[in-house]
A and B are shown apart, each in its own frame.
Chain A
Amino acid sequence: MLKIALVGCGKAGENHAREISMLPDAVLVSVTDVEPLMAEQFAARFGVPRYYAESSQMISRERPDVVHIATPPQSHVPLAMAALDAGCHVVIEKPLALNHTAAEALVRQALRQQRKLTIAHSYHFDPICRLMRAMLDDGIIGEPVHVESFMGYALDGNFGLPVFTDVGHWVHGLPGKLAHNVIDHLLNKVTEFLPDDRPHIMAHAWQRDLRGGDAFAMPDELRIMLKGARVSAYATFSAHSRPVSHYLTVFGTRNTLHLDFVAGTLTRRSTPSLPGSLGRLSCGFDQAWKHAQSAGSNVVRFVRGDYDQMSGLRYLFASFYQCIRECTTPPIPYADILRVSAIVDEVFAQCPTQQRQTA
């Protein structure tokens, strides 16, 4: 049984604690938050035996196998370094660090200490992503040509609202502000198809609506175009389009796959097999059938308890713990993690957030 400790008792920490509690071979032994009241209520709600206000004290007393870091990104690197130096394996919330250089240093430290490191790219192992990879391996879509990653954002939602009512919120301290906090989810789905070390990147960001006054000025729309040697990609972050969507479309030389992360559906679009108007007529029925099939498989996932939105995170944790026990490589290669952080640096270098931009 692996002993797990969690640093950070906020919203992301809750997702970690919930998913850890569902794994049979790991137990959350302690939590830490710089605000002891947050740690105390968190421990009470999740049935965690002990809580601390200092992560160093927690690590020295509890000697956990794995430390999960779900604090604001500004503190990821020092906390993770300390945990690695103490001999713990580390899971870090996204973004890994504030810039690529710091991310590289962290990975180097993990290798030096011979400890394992991973990042909470929760959608990377979502059931529909795993299914997509199986279809790719089977050659169903052929060779990928282009991918589109789209992520909507609710400014009035649980994550957005606190940002626009607190000028001291940590999101304001990120180089890319609002978009920086979610851009990993946008890009890690794309980098999987762009193995290029230095893809061509064009990015543009702007603020569509100024909310809450000048103190809250920051881009809330972001468009990125990436081009590698064989595959191109669009990545879109939009805080104003409705409904709030979250999808990935993979255009291949044979078929196109559409992954809807809100509904949890994966559908395949194929060239009609019937000629002319009959083919066009069949398209709607074909799509309806594909959606019905995907919805049906979601019923099965629900019955198996694998349909909640964070089931990808659970799979990631389970895979990470397994790689620790079996001394194998982490589920997300370090090169993939660092490719994302390098692209993030380039995107925000092209989109300065200090001055308000308009469309």
Chain B
Amino acid sequence: MPNATAADGMTTLVTGGTGRLGSAVLEALLDSGHRNIRCFVRPGITRAHLHHLQKKHGSGSVEIVYGNLTQRGDVARAVHGVDRVIHLAASLRGAPADMFLNTVVGSKILFDAVNRSRVRRIVVVSTLSVYELHDTSPAQTIDESAVVERRPEWRDVYTHTKVLQEQLLHRAPLRERLSWVVLRPGPLYGNTTPVLPARLGLQLAGCLLQLGASAALPLTHLANCADAIRLATFDDEIDSGAYNVVDDDLPTVSEFIARYRAEVHRIPTLRLPLAATLLLARLNEHSHKRWGAQVPPILTTYRVRNLWRGHQYANVRLKAAGWRQPIATRDALDTAFKSWRT
């Protein structure tokens, strides 16, 4: 596998390097010998971790470029002289308008700049949630050939932004000799603050409403995802296209919740089987129709059918490209739960 090092003089741009996944990616790149990494960071964002990495790996290892993805001039400056781009920046929460602006418009500006530059490869991190599964049997394992959501506005805002972000890559034809990879990880976890993934259910007033079928929870450990990103960025043998990034030997939703309650926090939990979840969704839809914005449509039948019927996801394509899960799920979960306890 070709390695980009300081000697190669190749520069890799990372957007979103101050986030959870971004931090894991930077560590993975630096630990495997990559240098000349340029982090594109918004002013006003905490960047202590980047300074720590600069100290640890030398001042030339990580360059910080300040700017905003929605400003064309900032992005052109960041992309200048770059060979590869890892695009992680995205809004996970906030006002919908800001999420679309930062994730979709920001990506469009970045892709335009990349198209006009000498960048050879761009890796975009999306999500497993982009698939349209409301009519797909849970018995069918979802690989990259599955249809991407055609009515993303019926899903949550985050999924909507990610579907549009992926569409941008297809809409504007990229120039020759620019390859692209979209990685679709499941809910990410690591040794940071525990975040209960939406695929478990809804958290309301300090309680967890476990929704739908209790199938395997399609998790992706941060370090495993970071390794997939490293591979997709620097292995030129990997074809352009989308790849699922999901770990093997996953716990079921019920097993995960039981362990979380036993080892981290005994969160009051109510389990709603799929039929009851669908009924609750209809009630939510009806209430929203009746009372408008007073009752937000957080649970809809469309969303339930996509997210909580227990679909399984394949990582065969990524493995065929050479990815091997660096941290076994059992070890990753053991370490994560231990860190969450403390």
Q: Chain B residues near A166 (CB, 8 Å)?
A: 42-44, 68, 70-71
Q: Verify A37–B97 contact, CB threshold 8 A.
A: no
A165 pairs with B43, CB closer than 8 A: yes
Interface flag for A192 (CB, 8 Å): no
Within B59-89, the residues touching A (CB, 8 Å) are 68, 70-71
Q: Which of A24-48 contact B (CB under 8 A)?
A: 35, 37-38, 41, 44-45
Most chain A Cβ neighbours within 10 Å, of B94, B290, B294: B294
| Chain A residues within 8 Å of B43, by CB | 165-167, 212-213, 215-216
Partner of B108 from the list A37, A45, A212 (CB cut-off 8 Å) is A37
Q: Is the CB of B44 within 8 A of A41?
A: no
Q: How far is the CA of A45 from the CA of B155 in the complex (A)?
A: 10
Chain B nearest CB from A43 CB (Å) reads: 9
A305/B97 contact (C-beta < 8 A), A37-B104, A166-B42 known: no
**A302 proximity list for chain B (CB < 8 A):** 291, 294
Q: Mark A186-215, 1 if CB is under 8 A from B, else 0.
A: 000000000000000000000000011101
Asked if B101 is an interface residue, CB under 8 A from chain A, the answer is yes
B96: interface (CB < 8 Å): yes
Which of B42, B105, B290, B291 contacts A35, CB < 8 Å?
A: B105
State A215–B100 Cα separation when bound (angstroms): 25
Q: Specify the chain A residue showing the minimal Cβ separation from B296.
A: A308
A144 at the interface (CB under 8 A from B): no
Nearest B residue to A41 via CB reads B100
Residue of B nearest to A166 (CB): B68
Q: How far is the CB of A233 from chain B (nearest CB, A)?
A: 31
Tell me which of A11, A215, A307, A310 contacts B97 (CB under 8 A). Answer: A11
Is A150 in the interface zone, CB < 8 Å from B? no
Known: A37-B104, A213-B44. A158 touches B95 (CB 8 A): yes
Contact A37 B44 (CB under 8 A): no
Task: Please report the C-alpha to C-alpha distance between residue A357 and residue B3 in the assembled complex, in whole angstroms.
Answer: 51
Which one of B70, B97, B152, B293 contacts A9 once the chains associate, using CB atoms below 8 Å?
B97
Across-interface contacts of A45 in B (CB, < 8 A): 96, 153, 160
- Are B95 and A305 in contact, CB atoms less than 8 angstroms apart? no
Most chain A CB atoms below 10 A, which of B95, B105, B291, B293:
B293
A161 in the interface (beta carbon within 8 A):
yes
Task: Give the distance to chain B from A291, nearest Cβ to Cβ, in Å.
Answer: 20
Q: How far is the CA of A37 from the CA of B152 in the complex (A)?
A: 14
A18 to B164 Cα, complex, angstroms: 22
User: For residue B45, which residues in chain A have a CB less than 8 angstroms away from its CB?
Assistant: 165
Whether the Cβ atoms of B292 and A14 lie closer than 8 Å is no
The reply on A173 being an interface residue by CB < 8 A is no
Bound-complex Cα distance A9 to B100 (A): 10
Q: Assuming A37-B164, A38-B105, A216-B44, is B97 touching A14 (CB within 8 A)?
A: yes
A18:B97 contact, CB within 8 angstroms = no
Enumerate A57-81 residues with CB–CB distance to B below 8 Å.
none
Residue of A nearest to B74 (CB): A168
Distance between Cα atoms of A166 and B100 in the complex (Å): 15
Cβ–Cβ < 8 Å partners of B100 in chain A: 37-38, 41
Known A13-B97, A41-B104; contact A168-B68, beta-carbon cutoff 8 A: yes
Q: Does A10 contact B (CB under 8 A)?
A: yes
| Cα of A14 to Cα of B98 in the assembled complex, Å | 12
> Which residues on the B side are within 8 Å of A105 (C-beta)?
none
Complex Cα distance, B228 from A14, in Å, reads 38
Closest Cβ of chain A to B25, distance in Å, is 20
Whether A38 and B101, one on each chain, are in contact in the complex, defined by CB atoms closer than 8 angstroms, is yes
Q: Mark B35-67, 1 if CB is under 8 A from A, else 0.
A: 000000011110000000000000000000000
B96 partner residues in chain A, CB cutoff 8 A? 14, 45
For chain B residues 165-215, which have a beta carbon within 8 Å of chain A?
none
> Quick one: given A35-B105, A162-B98, A213-B44, are A41 and B294 in contact (CB under 8 Å)?
no
Q: How far apart are B17's CB and chain A's nearest CB, in angstroms?
A: 14
A9 contact set on B, CB distance < 8 A = 97
Contacts of B292 in A (CB 8 A): 18, 22, 305, 308
Known contacts A35-B105, A41-B100, A158-B94; is A211 also within 8 Å of B44 by CB?
A: yes
The docked-state distance in angstroms from the alpha carbon of A167 to that of B290 is 42
Report whether B44 and A164 are in contact in the complex, using a CB–CB cutoff of 8 Å. yes
Kindly list chain A residues whose C-beta atoms are within 8 Å of the C-beta of B71.
166, 168
Q: Give the complex CA separation of A18 and B44 in angstroms.
A: 32
Contacts of A13 in B (CB 8 A): 97
| Closest chain B residue to A47, Cβ basis | B153
Residues from 299 to 313 in A contacting B, C-beta threshold 8 Å: 302, 305, 307-308, 310
Q: What residues of B have a CB within 8 angstroms of the CB of A37 in the complex? A: 100, 104-105, 108, 164
Known: A167-B43, A305-B291. 20 other contacts (CB 8 A): A13-B97, A14-B96, A22-B292, A37-B108, A41-B104, A158-B98, A161-B94, A161-B98, A165-B44, A166-B42, A166-B43, A212-B43, A215-B43, A215-B44, A302-B294, A305-B290, A305-B292, A308-B293, A308-B294, A310-B293
**CB-CB nearest 6 A-B residue pairs:** A212-B44, A158-B95, A308-B293, A44-B153, A10-B97, A165-B44
Residues of B within 8 A of A (CB): 42-45, 68, 70-71, 94-98, 100-101, 104-105, 108, 152-153, 160, 164, 290-294
A-B contact pairs, 30 of them (CB 8 A): A9-B97, A11-B95, A11-B98, A13-B97, A14-B96, A14-B97, A22-B292, A35-B101, A37-B100, A38-B100, A41-B100, A41-B164, A44-B153, A45-B160, A158-B94, A158-B95, A159-B95, A162-B98, A165-B43, A165-B44, A165-B45, A166-B42, A166-B68, A167-B43, A167-B68, A168-B68, A215-B44, A305-B290, A308-B292, A308-B294
